[in-house]
Structure 1
């Protein structure tokens, strides 16, 4: 059995559909709770999530790392599944996760696909089948046994960007990590708002800065300067 944890901030446009499709794709009914870890939304995210019968907790600190850690602190199940609010997992995703866990994989993710048909995005997604850190995206979602998650200390709350990369590196040191060969479907909104090639170039720059050891403060400043967004 597992707990789904979704960090949100002003996701009224997506959260109802995400919760609904989560339940529809949980064919074997392995999801016992969906926890929405909100970062202080000013739209109807919280009301919509509550109406969809999800558990809503408001994190005392804003930011995906802090919100996901806070949501995880309320989880009661053995497996945690972290999912972005604009990402839909494939049918039978929970069964696939359970089978991977039964085979000894303490953590893992899915492949990636976008909700927009473009050859460049498709090419990027094709590479997500490989276990290469440079092409590991947070949108791919992440499952992890709760005991393993707690052993790592969870997400590093100093990480505002690339928090998933940081955690996965630590997970791989203590457990088997797998990539389930099915894609989640995530929104291409950032690519469409900023330009597909420009957005990818920005992501490469940010990742390069991360690998060179730039501070989170500088990474966040560069991200905000280069990409149109109202949140990270």
Structure 2
């Protein structure tokens, strides 16, 4: 009996991403094969801009969801039809031929993993921070590095923990490290440094480190969200207000 060829479902949680989504979807089409990428699913959390229209224009499938990346990505996984799920942020560009790289890793026995990461900036501090993404250790992981995973494993792990309003990527990856052989592929995604520009690169990296520390010392999802809201979200809103 012939073996069913593997394919990938790309799942992108979106919320008011009209500035970035079109360029990403166009890049995906140009950097992958339609024989390998079965579908692109944009899971919208209630956008008030043109995000949904842009997704449809570029041939993506749109699924509507409650706001919250964990909920959005879980819903996208429920709608996905492929053997391999690839979770990608709307402002992160995967490497060329990422689809073939992912499927090669799957065929070599790696059920889950990510890519290394670079920022779209020449800031030496952020370049140094991104360098550590090549190290295969949980402390060096984050959602901006994207995540590929066999759909059967994703289901077995219970998907993303929806009690986490933030940190949902890292929480799942931590569970994957405990139960699987997580792989870091030697190619780079390029992610936006926009939040670092809004908050301040040193300040934001410090607060991200504090969130990591709080989680590792037992803080729950509500405490992490309170810290994020107080120290990061308010800074972003303040920065936007000053520039308006």
1:175 deviates by: 2.7
1:125 deviates by: 0.9
Match of 1:16 in 2: 22
Q: Is it true that 1:150 corresponds to 2:155 in the alignment?
A: yes
1:101 deviates by: 0.2
1:176 deviates by: 2.1
- What is the number of residues matched between the two proteins? 229
1:134 deviates by: 1.4
Q: Is it true that 1:118 corresponds to 2:120 in the alignment?
A: no
Distance (whole Å) between structure 2 residues aligned to residue 198 and residue 178 of structure 1: 30
> Please, which runs of 5 or more residues in structure 2 have no aligned partner?
1-6, 238-244
CA RMSD of aligned residues (A): 1.2
Q: Is it true that 1:206 corresponds to 2:211 in the alignment?
A: yes
Mapped contact 2:161–2:172 kept (Cα < 8 A) = yes
**Deviates further, 173-182 or 76-85:** 173-182
* One of 206, 216, 224 as aligned partner of 2:221: 216
Describe the SS at the equivalent of 2:89.
Answer: coil
* TM-score for both structures, normalised by structure 2: 0.91
Distance (whole Å) between structure 2 residues aligned to residue 135 and residue 170 of structure 1: 14
Mapped contact 1:6–1:36 kept (Cα < 8 A) = yes
Distance (whole Å) between structure 2 residues aligned to residue 135 and residue 171 of structure 1: 14
Q: Is it true that 1:187 corresponds to 2:189 in the alignment?
A: no
Higher-Rg structure is 2
Q: Is it true that 1:58 corresponds to 2:64 in the alignment?
A: yes
Mapped contact 1:28–1:95 kept (Cα < 8 A) = no
1:28 deviates by: 7.0
Match of 1:161 in 2: 166
* TM-score for both structures, normalised by structure 1: 0.95
> Please, which runs of 5 or more residues in structure 1 have no aligned partner?
none
